[in-house]
Chains A and B, each alone.
Chain A
Amino acid sequence: MKEGSILTENVLTVENLSIDYESNRGPVHALDSVSIGIQPRSLTAIVGESGCGKTSLGLGVIGLLPMPPVKNITGKVWYKKVNLLDLDKEEIRRYRGTEIAMIFQEPITSLNPVYKVGQQIEEAIAIRDSRATHKNTDANDRRSEIIESLNRVRIPDAENVANRYPFELSGGMRQRIMIAMALAQKPSLLIADEPTTALDVTTQAQVLKLMRNLMNEVNTSILLITHDLAVASQVADKVAVMYGGQIVEEAEVNELFSAPSHPYTQGLLACIPTGSKAKARLKPIQGNVLDLKQTVNYCKFAPRCPHVMDKCWESKPDLRTVEGEHKAACYLNE
């Protein structure tokens, strides 16, 4: 990993991150030596199916994985020249919410049901201010900032909404409020774990469009975790595809869709229904999703790969450059 220039350019640099869980059926290797860099003011999408490790990556980076059942975390996570994994609980807590914010799939569980929305945003602002300047801002200033942050996420009638409780609002509104709270801290990185999966199609479009636009307004990068390749194609600058706890392909978004180099990515793209059954029948990926409990020394996709060769069973392919910024972990490209 080249230190120096890349580290200072990237907002976040993950270096060989591995995470093991303890389960009552043996250790689970949720992440297997994952490396990725996130550039400033860009949206990177981590795409994968259930069990691929994408949520472990998102939560692990910011230290939100509970230590049991997590057993081992190795590797480095560089954020502004600090290795987040070296920090203790107190120290990393200071980064969370201020430098690195997170939003999750179910806003109803992230918002406190007994406080009004405005109060919760105010709390976020107050924490930010006390951490940054070590003094409290004026209540009026905070009030106007609350309204401003609600306006920024395009919530109509902000004054009214600020006085409501979370249960009175729709899912889309709640997610926007989560975004507002996350961005109130002016983070450099926003990690969004399936933020629109629980929303309707039209609401999803609105929220994704909002996130994309806000990136430039607030000067933040977004790490978007999703299972939906189509969503990634619409909003991401860079896409990383995960399988079996590894990144199997990483490329700028146009590259990935026009020239997918890993058979799993190709398989995923072939699974997306486009058009009617009469035109083109879907070609599902054969076999079943990987069991993360096994430690293997061969390519994890080999059992399901339509182009598998002998070499694939002998050793695990690394994530190597295919062309420019396009990387894939597959012997077919060598």
Chain B
Amino acid sequence: MNKNDPLLEVQNLKTYFNLRGSILRKHSKYVKAVDTISVTVRSQETVAVVGESGCGKTTLARTILLLTHPTAGSIMLLGREGVKSKEFYRNVQMVFQDPDSSLDPTMKIRDIIAEPLKGLSNLTQKEIESRVLKSLEEVALNSDVLDRVPRQLSGGQKQRINIARAIVTEPKLVILDEPTSALDASVQAQILNLLLDLQTQHGLSYLIITHNIAVAEYLSDRIYVMYAGRIVEQGPTEVVIRKPRHPYTIALLASAPIPDPKRKNLLNVEIVGEPPSSINPPSGCRFHPRCPYSEEICSIKEPDLDPLSQDRFVACHFVNKTA
């Protein structure tokens, strides 16, 4: 596979949840967690999906992994339709949010890392052991953690184990959901560097889901900004961060604290309101109640994701106002 060939292609994905009561009561409301989203990840590139809580980014990740059933749309991996199969999961793995919850407290580390090999391949016990050791080395951990249980490890070590497990089948794509949010600053830096090194060594692609703009900017080549189940802006990371065009992206970037007291961006932020409920999103453009540029049409018609330039898309009726 060549660099920049499409690896993952998600088209018009919808994941709606029916709010079920028990068998005895049924609701007729839907949570439109993912509402027509298209994302592409190419070979050896890092794509970030950025958004705040409730925007649907975790549901997006889980749907791509086929853990949640998509309501509509297509997921293509390596040119083939994504189905729950050993081959699919050998190629796509995920590092979940919360390193604690991702490790079975009753299992030894060696078994945790070996699990994907046991379930997805036909390797012998010896081969599995050597792959586990290799994985451990690659995440810079000593082999004496193999016989420990998760409780005995630090936050940084746990996340390394999660990464070791995710790469042990030598996947092409690793999806990372908030990979460093639960970690201290110094540990976060170590993990970010580790991710970069692994990418170079193995030719990996990453799909990173995060609310942390700084991490997204550091790691990714392309960025998608998600709001209330939809993509509102996408493009090359450098371009989008330098000159955001969607009013939400502008507000989001303006809210991310810059570590420089001489550039006080936080105190000049003008964003109002809160992210909307996923059950009853606002009509028309979902950002319109909070948008300083909104006009009447914004509450009536949802804007399409229109191209601004090659590889740069924005969903806004009045994108000219932010030029």
Contact = CB atoms under 8 A, between A and B. Distances in A.
B67 interface: no
B192 A201 contact: no
B54 to A, nearest CB: 8
A233 B251 contact: no
Contacts of B319: none
A233 B213 CA distance: 17
Contacts, number: 134
Given A172-B274, A201-B211, A282-B218, A271 B189 contact: yes
Given A230-B259, A234-B258, A201 B52 contact: yes
* Residue among B156, B193, B261 with most chain A CB within 10 A: B261
A78 B152 CA distance: 40
Interface of A: 49-50, 170, 172-173, 200-206, 208-209, 212, 227-231, 233-236, 253-254, 256-257, 267-277, 281-285, 288-289
B193 A281 contact: yes
B196 A277 contact: yes
* Residue among B53, B185, B189, B193 with most chain A CB within 10 A: B185
Contact of B186 (A49, A236, A281): A49
A266 to B, nearest CB: 12
Contact of A284 (B155, B190, B275): B190
Contacts of A227: 184-185
Given A204-B255, A235-B267, A282-B192, A272 B213 contact: no
B266 A200 contact: no
A324 to B, nearest CB: 16
Pairs of residues from A and B, 4 with the lowest C-beta to C-beta distance, nearest first = A273-B218, A205-B255, A284-B189, A49-B184
Contacts of B190: 284
B259 A50 contact: no
Interface of B: 52-53, 154-156, 184-190, 192-193, 196, 211-215, 217-219, 237-238, 251-252, 254-262, 264-267, 269, 271-272, 274-275
A204 B257 CA distance: 9
A262 to B, nearest CB: 14
Nearest to A239: B261
Q: Is the interface of A mostly helix, strand, loop or mixed?
A: helix
Contacts of B258: 230, 233-234, 274
Given A200-B52, A254-B262, A205 B271 contact: yes
Contacts of A284: 186-187, 189-190, 193
Contacts of B185: 49, 227-229, 268, 271-272
29 contacts: A49-B187, A170-B274, A172-B274, A201-B211, A201-B252, A201-B255, A201-B256, A205-B255, A206-B269, A209-B267, A227-B184, A229-B259, A230-B258, A257-B259, A257-B262, A268-B185, A268-B186, A271-B188, A273-B189, A273-B192, A273-B215, A273-B217, A274-B218, A276-B217, A282-B192, A282-B193, A284-B186, A284-B190, A285-B189
B257 A231 contact: yes
